[in-house]
């Protein structure tokens, strides 16, 4: 049935239609007088949405101009980009064409005439549909009778005016949360301070600022906590019914030493025919968090757990995530299991999914497992002497699986993560690489395999599902990356309209173990598209796989929890699933995929900002010190240098010595005007730390030596 808006629009689209006044439209469409006000409201809304226009004689007609809707992403320099809804493209918006839109605003844009010399399509914002943010975090500046809040988000676009009546309890230089109460004009925005977070250098205020900035739900409500506690901390007898009882089997969890939410447990058997049975048992969270329950709705809103340097914002209350759902050693736990028969070439030749109950034999950590494999620590070997053979079988199978992936073109981006050490007050006291070992890869290979097997199985069942997809990179981005790689005598080889993961894998193999390995890995990462969730199976470029999903972490990721429900339903009904269930869950899968992808982006941004802030905090006490680093990025305003400890800082043009350097767009290098000295990605340089600002999350270096 057509809505009133659609009726009016279709009426105006008719080729016989001539522009009419509101009263005339009412007469032709037989709209009674008592509904004329409703008609006026609809016409006003359509005009506001730029779907119709009104001439000087108050006559309405269809607006022939074509507009695109999207989200504005503003750069600190004033220009920005609009990500067009349901499309991959981004439209460049100059400062003059931004209509004073703020970062995150939902806007309508008009495309401008295409300039063949421009790097991207240009557009103009013609309407701000809605502002993206209602609250902001910033620093309060008191000017007695009025004040301003300077946003932490430097891309926002403007400071926030605060009248004296809206100071609240804020004092000068306090970090505050401000509500935007007047957003009529992007140049002049008024706000009201609704929460004082504390002074900038107070313990915990920095992380709290990020939590408030992204609107992260840091606490669970009383009702949700009560519901979580009602699930108890022991598996009930009736819950074990119709499950495979594996409580006497040897199974292990292998995680980091600090992990508290344990999703997965594993074991490996080796058969006489030299095949392996890989058993992956995943916490059956869906047994406790059912569809549309209050726990489910809260998990859906959060989408994922967020890890912010010593502070976790969990997707589920701790009573579940650390309790009944966590595969804790020596405790009966419900699981959703996947057993896979794998030959010595790494091919999965048989598999089955089933519901189980397990009891973890030992909780292991990566460090101890690696020492068992290496046979170097006699104390550890003695402690786990009864299980040494189990870990040897795991290592053996993991190597086979890893080799198989490399043959397919799996992209092993060796980009070390940062380990930031905090003191008891939460201040950064050390930054270094997070060391990993082959024991980490054992679990990675096992989880990847389980995810692929489950995805393929339920794809062919045509089940409503959420897949983890990673689409092919754009050819334009590959061309740009090749400009950087050219300086290292490297090139990603691609056909005109097709690229295979092996083309990237070959580059990674060429730089393996070399100084430029990390830089090249980062370049390739920037070239690839972001992985996301989808109800459609579109394959996963990064792992060179046709089928992939996230099945292994339902405690901390909503898509995993969602597909667990689907899998459980299929198992409970012996795979005889009615169409009503399929139709309902197809729509739910689509919603879950969209929401989870968005929540993942927010979580990633918050985690990165937390890391940047703490790195800057750490470097504040190292100003004046000298380090060796590698150029990680070249830009039109300078270059970024990454140090061995993973800290990255900017060397602006003014901090590159007396000589003027210019940006060579074609070769992606910086070239000295007089000496013709060239800086390119991957070059080693020596720098001095000249500034660090934790609140701006920025670190500045200067070059003190041109050659190392």
Check which CATH number belongs to the domain holding 630 and give it: 2.40.50.140
Residues 286 and 268 occupy one common structural domain: yes
Residue 114's pLDDT band (boundaries 50, 70, 90)?
low
What is the mean predicted confidence (pLDDT) over 48-63?
A: 86
Q: What is the distance between the alpha carbons of residues 334 and 265, in angstroms, rounded to a whole number? A: 12
pLDDT of the residue at 512: 87
Asked if pLDDT for residue 158 goes beyond 90, the answer is no
Q: What is the pLDDT of residues 14-31, one digit of tens each?
A: 888 989 999 999 988 889
**Percent share of the chain, pLDDT over 90:** 66
Residue 15 lies in a domain: yes
Residues 182 and 320 occupy one common structural domain: no
Residue 50 lies in a domain: yes
Residues 120 and 139 occupy one common structural domain: no
Residues 106 and 229 occupy one common structural domain: no
Q: What is the pLDDT of residues 544-578, one digit of tens each?
A: 999 999 999 999 999 999 999 999 999 999 999 99
String of DSSP letters for 532-594: EEESS---BTTTTBS-----S-TTTBHHHHHHHHHHHHHHHTTT---HHHHHHHHHHHHHHHH
Angle at 510 between CA 509 and CA 511, to 5 degrees: 95
Which tokens in the block code for residue 509? 């193999």
Residues 299 and 230 occupy one common structural domain: yes
Among 46-55, 607-616, 694-703, the least confident range? 46-55
Residue 274's pLDDT band (boundaries 50, 70, 90)?
very high
Residues 303 and 429 occupy one common structural domain: yes
Residue 633 lies in a domain: yes
Q: What is the distance between the alpha carbons of residues 581 and 577, in angstroms, rounded to a whole number? A: 7
Residues 448 and 476 occupy one common structural domain: no
pLDDT of the residue at 115: 65
Residue 214 lies in a domain: no
Q: What is the pLDDT of residues 355-371, one digit of tens each?
A: 999 999 999 999 999 99
Residues 236 and 332 occupy one common structural domain: yes
Q: What is the distance between the alpha carbons of residues 314 and 299, in angstroms, rounded to a whole number? A: 9
Q: What is the distance between the alpha carbons of residues 536 and 554, in angstroms, rounded to a whole number? A: 20
What is the mean predicted confidence (pLDDT) over 336-344?
A: 97
Does 271 or 158 have the greater pLDDT score? 271
Residue 379 lies in a domain: yes
User: Which residues have a Cβ under 8 Å from the Cβ of 617 and sit 6 or more positions away?
Assistant: 206, 427, 428, 692, 694
Residues 33 and 143 occupy one common structural domain: no
Q: How far is CA 386 from CA 276, 280, 360, 364, 380, in A?
A: 20, 21, 15, 14, 11
Q: What is the pLDDT of residues 622-681, one digit of tens each?
A: 999 999 999 999 988 899 999 999 999 999 999 998 889 999 988 889 999 999 999 999
Residues 346 and 427 occupy one common structural domain: yes
Count the neighbouring beta carbons within 10 Å of the beta carbon of residue 135: 15
Does 569 or 106 have the greater pLDDT score? 569
Q: How far is CA 523 from CA 363, 480, 490, 516, in A?
A: 37, 10, 12, 11
Asked if pLDDT for residue 1 goes beyond 70, the answer is no
User: Which residues have a Cβ under 8 Å from the Cβ of 61 and sit 6 or more positions away?
Assistant: 12, 17, 19, 52, 53, 55
Burial pattern 257-296, b for ≥16 Cβ within 10 A else e, equals eeeebbbbbbbbbeeeeeebbbbbbbbbbbbbbeeeeebb
CATH number of residue 147's parent domain? 2.40.50.690
User: Which residues have a Cβ under 8 Å from the Cβ of 89 and sit 6 or more positions away?
Assistant: 121
The mean of the pLDDT values for the chain is: 91
Q: What is the pLDDT of residues 125-148, one digit of tens each?
A: 888 877 777 899 999 999 988 999
Q: How many domains does the chain have?
A: 6
Give the global pTM. 0.86
Domain that holds residue 672: 622-705
Residue 383 lies in a domain: yes
Q: What is the distance between the alpha carbons of residues 472 and 495, in angstroms, rounded to a whole number? A: 13
What is the mean predicted confidence (pLDDT) over 243-270?
A: 96
Residues 428 and 351 occupy one common structural domain: yes
Final residue belonging to a domain, choices 423, 457, 491: 457
What is the mean predicted confidence (pLDDT) over 368-389?
A: 96
Final residue belonging to a domain, choices 109, 130, 151: 130
What is the mean predicted confidence (pLDDT) over 597-605?
A: 95
Asked if pLDDT for residue 708 goes beyond 60, the answer is no
pLDDT of the residue at 689: 97
Specify whether the CB–CB gap between 55 and 5 falls below 8 A: no
Residue 571 lies in a domain: no
Torsion of CA 617, 621, 622, 624, to 10 degrees: 120
Residue 169's pLDDT band (boundaries 50, 70, 90)?
very high
Taking alpha carbons only, the member of 405, 432, 633, 636 closest to residue 522 is 633
What is the mean predicted confidence (pLDDT) over 89-117?
A: 80
Final residue belonging to a domain, choices 199, 215, 236: 199
Residues 74 and 57 occupy one common structural domain: no
Asked if pLDDT for residue 87 goes beyond 70, the answer is no
Q: What is the distance between the alpha carbons of residues 640 and 629, in angstroms, rounded to a whole number? A: 10
- Integer distance in angstroms from the first to the last C-alpha of the chain? 73
Residue 594 lies in a domain: no
Asked if pLDDT for residue 684 goes beyond 80, the answer is yes
Q: What is the distance between the alpha carbons of residues 128 and 186, in angstroms, rounded to a whole number? A: 10
């Amino acid at each position: 049935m057509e809505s009133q808006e659609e009726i009016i629009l279709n009426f105006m689209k008719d080729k016989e239609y001539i522009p009419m006044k509101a009263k005339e439209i009412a007469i032709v469409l037989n709209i009674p007088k008592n509904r004329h006000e409703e008609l006026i409201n609809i016409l006003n809304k359509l005009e506001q949405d730029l779907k119709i226009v009104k001439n000087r004689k108050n006559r309405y007609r269809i607006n022939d101009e074509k507009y695109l809707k999207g989200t504005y992403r503003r750069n600190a320099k004033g220009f920005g980009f609009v990500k067009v809804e349901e499309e991959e493209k981004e439209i460049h918006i100059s400062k003059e064409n931004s209509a004073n839109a703020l970062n995150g605003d939902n806007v309508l844009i008009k495309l401008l005439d295409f300039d063949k010399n421009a790097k991207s399509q240009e557009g103009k914002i013609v309407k701000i549909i809605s502002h993206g943010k209602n609250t902001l975090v910033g620093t309060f500046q008191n000017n007695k009778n009025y004040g301003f809040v300077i946003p932490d988000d430097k891309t926002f676009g403007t400071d926030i005016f605060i009248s004296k009546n809206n100071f609240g309890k804020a004092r000068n230089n306090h970090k505050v949360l401000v509500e935007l109460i007047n957003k009529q004009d992007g140049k002049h925005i008024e706000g009201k301070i609704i929460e004082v977070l504390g002074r900038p250098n107070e313990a915990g205020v920095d992380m709290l600022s990020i939590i408030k900035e992204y609107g992260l739900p840091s606490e669970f409500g009383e009702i949700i906590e009560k519901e979580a506690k009602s699930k108890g901390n022991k598996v009930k007898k009736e819950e074990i019914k119709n499950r495979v009882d594996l409580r006497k089997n040897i199974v292990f969890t292998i995680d980091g030493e600090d992990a508290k939410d344990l999703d997965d447990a594993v074991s490996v058997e080796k058969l006489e025919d030299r095949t392996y049975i890989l058993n992956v048992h995943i916490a059956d969270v869906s047994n406790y968090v059912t569809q549309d329950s209050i726990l489910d709705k809260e998990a859906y809103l959060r989408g994922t757990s967020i890890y912010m340097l010593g502070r976790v914002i969990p997707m589920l209350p701790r009573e579940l995530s650390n309790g009944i759902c966590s595969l804790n050693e020596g405790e009966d736990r419900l699981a959703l299991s996947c057993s896979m028969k794998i030959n010595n070439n790494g091919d999965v030749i048989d598999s089955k999914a089933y519901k189980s109950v397990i009891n973890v034999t030992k909780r292991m950590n990566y460090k101890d497992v690696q020492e068992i494999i290496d046979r170097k620590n006699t104390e550890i070997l003695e402690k786990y002497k009864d299980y040494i053979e189990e870990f040897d079988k795991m290592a053996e199978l993991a190597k086979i699986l890893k080799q198989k992936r490399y043959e397919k073109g799996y992209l092993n981006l060796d980009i070390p993560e940062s380990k930031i050490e905090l003191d008891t007050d939460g201040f950064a006291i050390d930054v270094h690489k997070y060391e990993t070992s082959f024991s980490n890869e054992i679990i990675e290979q096992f989880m990847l395999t389980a995810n692929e097997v489950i995805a393929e199985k339920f794809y062919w069942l045509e089940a409503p599902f959420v897949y983890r997809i990673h689409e092919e990179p754009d050819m334009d981005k590959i061309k740009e990356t090749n400009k950087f790689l050219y300086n290292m005598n490297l090139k990603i080889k691609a056909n005109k309209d097709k690229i295979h993961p092996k083309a990237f894998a070959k580059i990674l193999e060429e730089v393996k173990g070399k100084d430029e390995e990390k830089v090249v890995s980062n370049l390739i990462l920037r070239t690839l598209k972001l992985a996301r969730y989808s109800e459609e199976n579109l394959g996963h470029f990064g792992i060179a796989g046709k089928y992939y999903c996230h099945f292994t972490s339902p405690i901390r990721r909503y898509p995993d929890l969602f597909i667990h429900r689907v899998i459980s339903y299929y198992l409970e009904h012996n795979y005889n699933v009615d169409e009503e269930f399929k139709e309902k869950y197809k729509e739910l899968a689509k919603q879950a995929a969209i929401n989870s992808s968005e929540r993942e982006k927010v979580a990633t941004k918050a985690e990165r900002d937390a890391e940047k802030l703490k790195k800057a905090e750490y470097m504040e006490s190292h100003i004046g010190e000298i380090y060796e680093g590698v150029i990680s990025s070249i830009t039109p305003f300078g270059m970024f240098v990454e140090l061995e400890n993973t800290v990255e800082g900017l060397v602006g043009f003014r901090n590159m010595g007396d000589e003027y350097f210019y940006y060579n767009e074609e070769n992606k290098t910086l070239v000295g005007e007089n000496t013709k000295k060239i800086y390119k990605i991957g070059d080693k340089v020596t720098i001095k730390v000249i500034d660090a600002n934790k609140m701006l999350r920025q670190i500045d270096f200067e070059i003190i030596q041109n050659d190392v």
